[in-house]
Amino acid sequence: MARLLYRLGRLVAAHPVIVLLIWVAAAAGVTLVVKQVGSETSNNVDLPGTGSQLATDLLQAGFPPQQNGSNPIIFKVTKGKVTDSANKQAITDSYKAIKKIGFVHSATSPFSQDGQGQVSKDGKIAFISVLLSISSNELTEEEAQRVMNAAEPGVKAGMQVEGGGSIGSTLSPNDTSTSDLIGILAAMLILTLTFGTVVAMGMPIGGAVIGLTTALGLIGLMGHLIAVPDIAHTVATMIGLAVGIDYALFLVTRHRSQLAEGLELHESIARAVGTAGTAIVFAGCTVVVALVSLVVAGIPLVSSLGYTGAVAVGTAVLAAITLLPAFMSLAGKRINSIALPKRFQASDDPAHKGIWGRWAGFVVHRPIVPLLLAAAILVPLIIPVTDLHLGQEDIGQTPSSTMERRAYDLMQQGFGPGYNGPRCDGSQATPNVPPKL
């Protein structure tokens, strides 16, 4: 393995531009293909062999499509009551428009005989119970928005209108771009302090980002072959960035150390790939095997997360042993350019010089001070444990800015705690429409 990686490192070091162009073309290519064909996702929540899945299967067999659960379209008035003539007419018009939608199996008006209990006691909140003929896995954002558009008469009447169930969840995308950006910025800061130079810092970040872009494109295409949940992209981003930066750290550190010892550039890159690269490949393969082994759980959702996570890790390994050496070859001796002030850089004699050497000496000679400092930071962080609620999460844990959370809060406000109880399949729901026998 070490000899093979040594030869690979030597080859990449000799042709860095070609390797870089291949990676850029791969990342851009899969991204463009995904934009053309779309990224398919399917939140398959089947739990084979469990009692809840058996109950769902019985509903599907005996009372289809009751297994899809109810989707409340909730109306809240700010003045008067929902039973006032104008408000009642707006809700009725919304009900009639929703009922005409092709994929709506049935809808129950809060003012009908079957809709008793769908108006709050104070008369401020009411909901139309909507039963779809398609499951949450099949419901698209366009279809969910079509249902909400049909409730436009309620909005025009001045009411707050929110969608719950799978409709609200579909229209409440989980945007993780901000957290991803924060993670990258934090990694840039840590790597800059670790390496002492901006150029060295940019190599692991650049390699991880290009590798992750390629991986996310591949995962988007995988959705056309297997069921890939929405959360897979978030999990892949988290794992891909983490291992991509971590693996690159090994390689860059070894390469800089060898350059400092006077080793020739291409030879240093080849040796770094042959030595640190061996550890990277071994560690990556171990993580891939662990992720793929999630299939043993027998839960489709978990298995899909394992497959997609494995793609992110595998791509990160390939980027570390090919793309990163190309960066190092192009940078050459300039890898130590744009350096931090001397006191923040690593020293040839780190045990006695440099900021980290001085800090290590301080910790060794005065351990009580850093111990108290660490406790002062960690103790406040564990205080929330005293108010920790264990159990299955529900929509109440989602951001208050999302439609599904607003619908959840309105149902609880109008009909009391417990009305948002989970369905038999474990997902969040409101009471189902009674089966029509």
> DSSP letters along 90-126, please?
HHHHHHHHHHTSTTEEEEE-TTSSTTTT-B-TTSSEE
The reported pLDDT for the residue numbered 6 is 93
Q: Characterize the bridge pairing of strands 125-132 and 70-76.
A: antiparallel
DSSP 115: T
How far apart, in Å, are the Cα atoms of 325 and each of 6, 21, 253, 403?
Answer: 11, 13, 12, 46
Token couple for 243: 């291992």
What is the Cα Rg of the chain in Å?
Answer: 28
In sequence order, what are the beta bridge partners of 75? Answer: 126, 161
Tokens of 304: 């899909």
Domain boundaries, the chain: 2-42+174-346, 64-172, 350-382
Three-state secondary-structure class, residue 107? strand
Name the CATH superfamily, with its identifier, for domain 2-42+174-346: Multidrug efflux transporter AcrB transmembrane domain (1.20.1640.10)
Task: Decide if 165 contacts 71 (C-beta within 8 A).
Answer: yes
The listed CATH number (3.40.50.2000, 3.30.70.600, 2.60.40.10, 1.10.10.10) that belongs to domain 64-172 = 3.30.70.600
What is the pLDDT, as a whole number, of residue 253?
87
Taking only the tens place, the pLDDT of each residue in 207-229 is: 989 999 999 999 989 888 888 88
Q: Which of these, 61, 74, 37, lies nearest to 224 by C-alpha position? A: 37
Tokens matching residue 182: 């924060």
Q: Please state, in angstroms and rounded to a whole number, the distance separating the CA atoms of residues 35 and 430.
A: 36
For residue 381, give every residue at least 6 positions away whose Cβ sits within 8 Å of its Cβ, in sequence order, or none.
Answer: none
Give residue 225's pLDDT. 84
pLDDT < 70 positions in the chain: 43-47, 49, 52, 60, 62-64, 66-68, 174-177, 342-356, 391-393, 421-437
pLDDT of residue 44: 64
65: three-class secondary structure by DSSP: coil
pLDDT in tens, 268-287: 999 999 999 999 999 999 99
> 422: Cβ–Cβ under 8 A, 6 or more apart, which residues?
392, 394, 428, 429
Helix (H) or strand (E) holding 125: strand 125-132
For residue 211, CA distances in Å to 32, 48, 322, 329, 360 come to 15, 35, 11, 18, 35
pLDDT of residue 401: 85
- Phi, psi dihedrals of residue 236, rounded to the nearest 5°: -65, -40
Residue 388's pLDDT is 78
Report pTM.
0.72
* pLDDT for residue 342: 67
